[in-house]
Amino acid sequence: MDLGKLFFCGFNDFNEEVKEIIRKYRPAGILIYPGVLSKEYLLMDFMSFLSKEGDFLVSSDHEGGQLEVLKYVPSSPGNLAFGKNSPDVTYRYSKIAGKIMEIVGFNMVFAPVLDLLSEESSSVIDMRSYGSDPKIVAEHGAKACEGYLEGGVMPCIKHFPGHGRAREDSHLTLPVVDAPFEKLWEEDLLPFRKVLEREKKVTVMTAHVRYSSIDSLPATLSEKIITDVLRKKIGFDGLVISDAMEMSAVSNNFSVEEIVSLFLNAGGNMILLGDYRNLPVYYETLVKLLEDGKVQKDKVERSIRMVEKYLAFAKKNSGVGFLADSSAKAVEFLGFEKIDHTSEVTLLVPSSENLSQADTTGGDYDQIPEIVSRFFEVENVVRYTVEDGPEFVEGDLIFDFVADIPNEKALKAHLSLPAEKTVYFVLRNPFDVRYFEGRKIVVTRSTKPISIYKSLEHFLGRCDS
C-alpha cells in the first residue's frame, strides 16, 4: 500500500535530506513553510524538484490577514474586515490569491478559516474569523472557496467543527469547549455545513479541540466527530486532514501510536506533520499498527483512494520551478573539467554600491555568502567595489564573483588572484570572459540567487571529494 499518501508534511527547508525523505516515503501532501518561502531560490528549486518527482498536493498556510506567508499575494486586511463587506469582496480576494498561488506552483491552500469569533475566542483566531454571525461566516466562507477554486487552488476549511469557542491556542494546550451539541450544530457548524453543501472539491481540517458534549477525545481523534457528525450527519465524503500533529494540544496528550490509529480509525484521511523530519517515525508506526491490526485496513485503503481522487483534481503545475531550470540552462563552465575538493572557500563579493538607477541587483550580491554556504564551508567573505576590484587574498579555493570590469585597475586586481586557486564567476556580461582566458570560469549570465545557487550545485558535481 502506498502509505505515503496518508501524510501531509511541512517543509521549512529544501536540501538533500528533504529530497531523500520525499523519495523514500513519498508523502502526497507538501506544505511549504516560510524557511523555504523566504528564500525564493529554494522555493523555485523545490517546485522544480516536485514537478519531476510526480504528483503532489502542494499547499501553504497563507490565509490573508493574520497569517500571511506568500509575498506574491497582496496583503489582505483579513477575514474579519472582509466580513464587514459584501461576500463578493471575499470572493475577489480569494480568486486573485488563488490565481497567484497557482502561478507560483501551489494547487491547494489551508484556508479559509470558518471559526466564529466570540468574546472568549483565543487570540489565535481574532481576525482570521469572518465574524460571529454564523450566516455571515457561511456566506463569506462559501465565496472564499469559490474564489480559490476558480483561481486554481483547492481550499481547506478549518478548524472543524469550529475553534471559535476555545479560549486557548491549540498550539500550546488542548482547549475544551462545553457548549451543547445543538448549539454547536446551529452556530459553529453552520458555516461548515453550508460550504459543504455548495462546494465539492473542498477539504476539511480538524480542530485539536475537545468538545465535551460530543466526545472525550479531541475532534482530530474523534470518530464521533469525523465519522458520525462530518461524514454521516453532514454527508461529507471528501478529504479530511488533521491539523499539525506536533501541536501541543495533541502531542502532549497522546502517543504517536494513539494519534495515528485514532485519527485514521475515526475516518480522517491525511495526517499533517508540521516537521517532515517526523515522517519516518509516523510512517513506521503506521506500518506497525497495520500489521498489528490496530488500524483498520479498509479505512486506510479508502483514505488512499480519497487522496488519489484529490491528486487527480489538483492542477499539475511546476510553477516557479521553470525559473530554476532556465537559470541552470544558462550556466557555462570554461577552463576546467574537475576541481579538487577543498573544505573552505574564500569569497570575493561585489559591493551593492554605485549601481545604475535601472539596476536592483544589489540585494543579490548580499545573498551570495548564504547561498555558497549551502554547498561549501565559507572561510572568509571579502566585499569589494566594482571600480577598484578585489583585494589580493590567499586561500585553498577562491570564488571571485565578477560583476563588471569598468577599468584597467579593476581588471588588474581580478587578474592578480592566484590562477590555480581562483574560480571566476562571471555574473553579468559574458564578454568579460575574454579577460580570464586560460583560467577557471563559471558564466552564470545572471546575478540572481537562483542562478548562483544552480551554478554552485552543478559546480559541486564537478568537485573531487
Residue 356 CB-density burial (10 A; 0-12 exposed, 13-18 middle, 19+ buried): exposed
Q: Does 39 bind a copy of itself (CB under 8 A)?
A: no
Specify whether 171 is catalytic. yes
Strand stretches in 298-385, DSSP E: 332-334, 344-350, 377-384
- Give residues 249-278 in contact with a copy of itself (rule: CB under 8 A): none
Q: Does 358 bind a copy of itself (CB under 8 A)?
A: yes
Q: Hey, is 29 helix, strand or coil?
A: strand
Q: Does 315 bind a copy of itself (CB under 8 A)?
A: no
Q: Quick one: which of 6, 18, 39, 61 contacts a copy of itself (CB under 8 A)?
A: 61
Q: How far apart, in whole angstroms, are the C-alpha atoms of residue 435 and residue 438?
A: 9
Q: DSSP states of 397-415 as a string?
A: SEEEEE----SHHHHHHHH
Q: Which of 239, 229, 311 is nearest to 58 (CA)?
A: 311
How many Cβ atoms from other residues are within 10 Å of residue 438's Cβ?
8
Choose the catalytic residue: 243, 364, 400, 432.
243
* Nearest residue (CB) to a copy of itself, 269 versus 444: 444
How many Cβ atoms from other residues are within 10 Å of residue 320's Cβ?
20
Q: Quick one: which of 52, 329, 409, 462 contacts a copy of itself (CB under 8 A)?
A: 329
Specify whether 243 is catalytic. yes
The β-bridge partners of 87 are none
Q: Does 117 bind a copy of itself (CB under 8 A)?
A: yes
How many Cβ atoms from other residues are within 10 Å of residue 2's Cβ?
10
Q: How far is the CB of 246 from a copy of itself (least distance, A)?
A: 10
Q: Quick one: which of 311, 448, 456, 459 contacts a copy of itself (CB under 8 A)?
A: 448
Choose the catalytic residue: 171, 325, 366, 404.
171
Where does this chain touch a copy of itself (CB under 8 A) — which range of 63-71, 253-261, 296-304, 457-465? 63-71
Q: How far is the CB of 175 from a copy of itself (least distance, A)?
A: 13
The β-bridge partners of 271 are 7
- Give residues 151-190 in contact with a copy of itself (rule: CB under 8 A): 169, 171
- Edge-to-edge strand order for the sheet containing 332-334? 332-334, 440-443, 422-426, 398-402, 344-350, 377-384
- Give residues 69-98 in contact with a copy of itself (rule: CB under 8 A): 69, 71-78, 80-85, 89, 92-93, 96
Per DSSP bridges, beta strands 332-334 and 440-443 are antiparallel
- Any alpha helices (H) in 212-267, and if so which ranges? 223, 248-251, 256-265
* Nearest residue (CB) to a copy of itself, 199 versus 243: 243
Q: Quick one: which of 123, 212, 252, 407 contacts a copy of itself (CB under 8 A)?
A: 123
Q: How far is the CB of 374 from a copy of itself (least distance, A)?
A: 18
- Give residues 194-253 in contact with a copy of itself (rule: CB under 8 A): none
* Nearest residue (CB) to a copy of itself, 248 versus 380: 248
Q: Quick one: which of 338, 356, 437, 461 contacts a copy of itself (CB under 8 A)?
A: 356
Q: How far is the CB of 320 from a copy of itself (least distance, A)?
A: 5
DSSP state of 435: G
The β-bridge partners of 36 are none
Q: Does 107 bind a copy of itself (CB under 8 A)?
A: no
- Give residues 425-444 in contact with a copy of itself (rule: CB under 8 A): 428-431, 434, 444
- Give residues 387-416 in contact with a copy of itself (rule: CB under 8 A): 403-404, 406
Q: DSSP states of 81-148 as a string?
A: HHTTS-HHHHHHHHHHHHHHHHHHT-SEE---B-PPP-TT--TTTGGGS--S-HHHHHHHHHHHHHHH
Q: How many chain residues touch a copy of itself (CB under 8 A)?
A: 71
Active site residues: 171, 243
